[in-house]
Amino acid sequence: MADHNKVWNNCLQIITQYVTAQSFKTWFEPIVPLRLEGSVLTIQVPNKFFYEFLEGHYVDILKQSIRAEIGEEARLEYLVPRKQTPQPGSTKIAVPTNKSNSKYNKTAPDKIKNPFVIPGIQKLKIDSQLNPTYIFDNYIEGDCNRLARAAGVAVAKRPGETAFNPLMIFGNVGLGKTHLAQAIGNQVKSMFEDKTVLYVSSEKFTNQFIDALRNNAISDFAKFYQLVDVLIVDDIQFLENKVKTQDIFFSIFNHLHQSGKQLILTSDRPPKEMKGIEDRLISRFKWGLSADLQIPSLETRMAIIQQKMSSDGVDLPPDVLEFISYNVRTNVREMEGILISIIAQAALNQRNIDIDLAKEVISQFIDNISNEITVEYIQKTVAEHYDIPMEKLKEKTRKKFIVRARQVSMYLAKQLSNKSLKHIGGAFGGRDHSTVIHACKTIENMLENDSRFKSELSDIAKRLRNSGIEFNESDLG
Ligand code: ADP
Ligand code: MG
């Protein structure tokens, strides 16, 4: 009879191929296999959060690996030790891992069905391959994505009928292309029951095409795609230098476009920078609208984190929220990875989520946590202190308290940010360096003569420092 350790080890061998080293270490190494009874494998996880996380994020890969080891009827049961005593046999959460559609199934092995096995190719039977969690409601809007998001909403309302066809979404990795493209698909699906939506990565598309070539089934392949009303092709940069795949894609594109069907494409670069893609395809891509995604601003990053945390039911202290948003400026995916690690570390080691923990985790991801303060961050802190919208600092208004807030921000930026006067002025609605000099003089003057103002400024400085950014009080003059 198979022994639970062996079975679990074999499962781990499979799992390790599909998850990152960091996730493997965090989520799979702490699991202890307890027993195997018939086709039920029981594993012990450190706590309930852990169990929920595994079920939320890794259910597919867990399911597939234990099925591969034990057979189709395999079941997984979790045990959570009572009150952190490592004794098994207490709170029992029995979970048949038979439910599909994990919350984030990106790490799971390929699930996309071969389109040709769908019997009779009936319209409504085509599985859209969409992840139902990618929706507009949880796609935070910001300057970074306003145009792309608005175009996406418009397309979702009237697929194939707007000028945005194709809708081309481009931007660097982790900035939300897949989420947005899928949100459009999900929205169409919920509004138009009779429309067939299909999401496919261009890699998957290529592989299906190669299979079709091998099986002499090119015409079936093309016909299948021509049935779709809304076709979403993700990461089309993968089509680069694949001449034959581009040819068939070109013909599918034309067919759909001519029949008033909607195309949504994503890419990590704008059409004009795509190399190795035929000109005729590039020119098609330019027919509709190309909208780019940028790195979200500090405020948008905060809103995104807040939204993710509240949907996971986690309370993140405000200073930690600010600290993460401030320090992680690469992309949203990295920000999510860091959040998840922080929560996991807190749960595993029974620690509070605080700045120290956040710092530790972030330093594993990012080489040097920035100790340098940005103008944007100063603006935000000052605006909060004076309880005015941050945008006001950039506007032309001459209202006294806004002028004050603006001058304070400029002064702090000059003292703390290492940025040039020109840069600082620019960050305040394109003002010039002489305005910044004037602001600094005014504030210095007030600091010398007004002790109440002095303590006001040191309150703001304290607030800046609370977010984990280090600077010398003496920098403040
Ligand atoms: P890309 O396809 O551009 O590499 P993804 O769409 O996979 O990026 O996004 C990475 C992660 O960031 C996803 O989990 C996504 O939900 C999240 N994300 C990106 N932009 C936003 C946003 N504006 N609001 C909420 N979540 C976002
Ligand atoms: Mg993507």
DSSP 60-100: HHHHHHHHHHH-TT-EEEEE--GGG---SSSSEEEE-TT--
Give the CATH number, domain containing residue 68.
3.30.300.180
* Atom 5 of ligand 1, residue of closest alpha carbon: 176
Nearest alpha-carbon partner for 200 in 173, 178, 222: 178
Q: How far apart are alpha carbons 222 and 147 in whole angstroms?
A: 32
Q: Which residue has the tokens 């040191």?
A: 458
Specify the pLDDT at position 462.
79
Same domain, 143 and 283: yes
Distances (CA, A) of 374 to 41, 324, 412, 460: 52, 14, 10, 15
For residue 295, give the 3-state DSSP assignment: coil
Q: Which residue has the tokens 């919208």?
A: 389
Structural domain boundaries enclosing 411: 375-476
| Residue 176 near ligand 1, beta carbon < 6 Å | yes
| Residue 223 near ligand 1, beta carbon < 6 Å | no
Q: Is the dihedral of CA 395, 397, 400, 403 positive or negative?
A: positive
For residue 192, give the 3-state DSSP assignment: coil
Pair of tokens at residue 141: 């809007």
Same domain, 220 and 302: no
Same domain, 267 and 160: yes
Q: Is the dihedral of CA 269, 150, 132, 260 positive or negative?
A: negative
Same domain, 150 and 164: yes
Domain end point (choices 66, 96, 126): 96
User: Per residue of the chain (477 residues), what is the pLDDT tens digit?
Assistant: 569 999 999 999 989 888 877 778 878 988 999 999 989 999 998 877 778 778 878 888 898 899 989 988 989 888 887 654 333 433 444 444 443 443 333 333 333 344 444 444 444 468 899 999 999 999 999 999 999 999 999 999 999 999 999 999 999 999 999 999 999 999 999 999 889 999 999 999 999 999 999 999 998 999 999 999 999 999 999 999 999 999 999 999 999 999 999 999 999 999 888 889 999 999 999 899 999 999 999 889 999 999 988 887 788 888 888 888 888 888 898 888 888 889 888 888 888 888 889 988 888 776 555 556 778 888 988 998 898 999 999 998 888 989 999 999 999 999 887 788 999 999 999 999 999 999 999 999 999 998 889 888 888 887 777 655 555 555 565
| Helix spans in 259-391 (H) | 279-285, 298-311, 318-327, 332-348, 355-365, 375-385
Cis peptide before 115 (omega within 30 of 0): no
Q: How far apart are alpha carbons 86 and 79 in whole angstroms?
A: 10
Same domain, 188 and 254: yes
Residue 271 resides in a domain? yes
In the reported structure, the alpha carbon of residue 52 is separated from the centroid of ligand 2 by a whole-number distance in angstroms of 25
In the reported structure, the alpha carbon of residue 317 is separated from the centroid of ligand 2 by a whole-number distance in angstroms of 30
Q: How far apart are alpha carbons 9 and 274 in whole angstroms?
A: 44
Q: Is the dihedral of CA 152, 155, 159, 165 positive or negative?
A: negative
Same domain, 207 and 244: yes
Contact 7, 33 (CB under 8 A): yes
Q: How far apart are alpha carbons 428 and 406 in whole angstroms?
A: 8
At position 405, the amino acid (one-letter code) is A
Give the CATH number, domain containing residue 436.
1.10.1750.10
Same domain, 37 and 164: no
Query: Considering every ligand atom, which ligand is closest to the CA of 181?
Result: 1
| Residue 340 near ligand 1, beta carbon < 6 Å | no
Give the CATH number, domain containing residue 318.
1.10.8.60
Pair of tokens at residue 261: 């069907």
Same domain, 151 and 278: yes
Same domain, 389 and 345: no
Domain end point (choices 40, 69, 96): 96
* Atom 11 of ligand 1, residue of closest alpha carbon: 333
pTM (predicted TM-score): 0.65
Order of strands, sheet of 262-267, starting from the edge strand that comes earlier in the sequence: 197-201, 230-234, 262-267, 167-170, 289-292
Backbone angles phi, psi at 365, to 5 degrees: -95, -40
In the reported structure, the alpha carbon of residue 176 is separated from the centroid of ligand 1 by a whole-number distance in angstroms of 3
In the reported structure, the alpha carbon of residue 333 is separated from the centroid of ligand 1 by a whole-number distance in angstroms of 6
Same domain, 248 and 336: no
| Residue 31 near ligand 1, beta carbon < 6 Å | no
In the reported structure, the alpha carbon of residue 355 is separated from the centroid of ligand 1 by a whole-number distance in angstroms of 24
Q: How far apart are alpha carbons 369 and 191 in whole angstroms?
A: 45
Nearest alpha-carbon partner for 39 in 2, 80, 86, 89: 2
Same domain, 354 and 381: no
Q: How far apart are alpha carbons 56 and 34 in whole angstroms?
A: 22
In the reported structure, the alpha carbon of residue 315 is separated from the centroid of ligand 2 by a whole-number distance in angstroms of 28
Q: How far apart are alpha carbons 239 and 261 in whole angstroms?
A: 21
| Residue 145 near ligand 1, beta carbon < 6 Å | yes
Query: Roughly what angle, to the nearest 10 degrees, separates helices 332-348 and 48-57?
Result: 150
Instruction: Count the domains in the chain.
Output: 4
Q: How do residues 140-172 score in pLDDT, each as one tens digit?
A: 999 999 999 999 999 999 999 999 999 999 999
Distances (CA, A) of 54 to 51, 102, 285: 5, 9, 40
Same domain, 184 and 58: no
Strand partners, 200: 233
Atom of ligand 1 nearest to the CA of 173: 4
Which residues have CB under 8 Å from 320's CB, separation 6+?
Answer: 342, 353, 354, 355, 357, 358
| Residue 81 near ligand 1, beta carbon < 6 Å | no
